[in-house]
Amino acid sequence: MSNTADQTITPPRIDTLGYGLAIAGAALFSTKGIFIKLAYANGIGPETILALRMIVALPVYLLIAALVLFRELQMRAKLKPGPVFAAASIGILGYYVASSFDFWGLSFVTAQYERLVLFTYPFFTLALGVMFFGDTMNWRTVPGLLTSYAGLLVIFGWNLAANPSGLVEGTILVLLSGLTFALFQHLAKKSMNHIGARLFTCIGMSAAGIVAIAHNTVQHGITSYAGISSEVWVYGVCLGILGTVLPSFLLNTAISRIGARAASSTGPFGPVVTIALAVLILGEPFTRYHAIGTVLVILGVLWFSHAEQNGKRPLAAA
């Protein structure tokens, strides 16, 4: 008899560094709302803090693009006007329009509520895919969807009773941000396949940064930047580096080590970190209704993601 059956099967090694990078990236992304809220407390508007974020992040992405084109000669041949214009246009949609809706929404609602609402954007991705991009509806995802929105309704109801001012407007704006970002993801796939994810991100983010800076400059004037306090500039730097550039590199590195699916499984750390920081730094309330709603939203998204991934397995194996 062969000794093969007697051999101990060694389980696959877990890449703890890869998961650690993914968790760190999700946690840093979650600080975005905190820095925005701190800037708002100093009298800064949404378009100005978005411009500050881009002023900090734009040079980094331009530098990365230059390095990619310098080191990878084959990428230069792909930089034709059509693909560059497509990447820039899609980037403006995802990194400027979606961000603008989100930043404006944060001027009405709490940081923790914004994060939970935005956390449900995969539902929009599925819906848009089915309606416009030829995806097949996976009905097993519906219970997860309903669970998450039940959680949002719990928190929405508490806010409606405690502080209804701006709640509806803020919720709609954040939902529009999620919808716009979901559309961006669908449109970005083809462009990324053509010029690569790194170059696409650099072009898209650079185009969005130029538009955001131009928007604020036209609306408030070039001299408006001189009147921004050093404290707000610190928030802008933190938002650009800690909330934008650094987590994007951490998540990209994590995906290269453990894959996109495993990296996405760390997503629930984002809302949890946002809630903790919002309570500790911003002094936002966290009641039993917030706890119930948060648990329902996170469980619903996890349920939805699991059902969606399982629904795709037969197609991948075919």
Q: How far is CA 278 from CA 48, 112, 176, 271, in A?
A: 22, 6, 22, 10
Q: How far is CA 25 from CA 21, 127, 211, in A?
A: 6, 27, 26
Q: What pLDDT was estimated at residue 232? A: 95
Mean pLDDT over the full length of the chain: 87
Q: How confident is the model at residue 57 (pLDDT cuts 50, 70, 90)?
A: very high
Instruction: Answer yes or no: is pLDDT of 100 > 70.
Output: yes
| Cα torsion 100, 104, 105, 106: sign | positive
Q: How confident is the model at residue 313 (pLDDT cuts 50, 70, 90)?
A: very low
**CA dihedral of residues 222, 226, 229, 235 (deg, nearest 10):** 50
Q: Where are the strands (E) in 191-244, listed by range? A: none
Q: What is the pLDDT of residues 126-155, one digit of tens each?
A: 899 899 988 888 899 899 999 999 999 999
Structure tokens belonging to residue 34: 């905190």
Lowest mean pLDDT among 14-28, 148-162, 225-239, 266-280: 14-28
Whether the Cβ atoms of residue 26 and residue 266 lie closer than 8 Å to each other: yes
**Coil, helix or strand for 9?**
coil
